[in-house]
Structure 1
Amino acid sequence: MPEINVSEPLYRQLVAASEDEDLDETMWKMVGRYSRGNTPGD
């Protein structure tokens, strides 16, 4: 899996958004929501 680097404030926001869920799972959900919201023609 690729590695990404984020700022400390953004990392803290991601951890808070995960609400005790696996951080990777939270990231995949965010990617899915972004993709659905930003794909013309869907």
Structure 2
Amino acid sequence: MQHIHDGYRGLSLLVNLNADRLFFIGTIVVGLLAGAFLGQALVSAGF
């Protein structure tokens, strides 16, 4: 049980240290998906 707790604590530390990078990557992915959706909507509307 202690091993699982230590592993979770280590994973939590990694996530906390890299949270800004994960947020940055997530923001880029969301922006790309929004751009693709908007582009598809414009193409199908005939613009």
Q: TM-score range by the shorter chain?
A: 0.3 to 0.5
Q: Normalising by structure 2, what TM-score?
A: 0.40
Q: Normalising by structure 1, what TM-score?
A: 0.44
Q: Determine which structure has the larger helix proportion and give its number.
A: 2
- Which entry has the higher C-alpha Rg, 1 or 2? 2
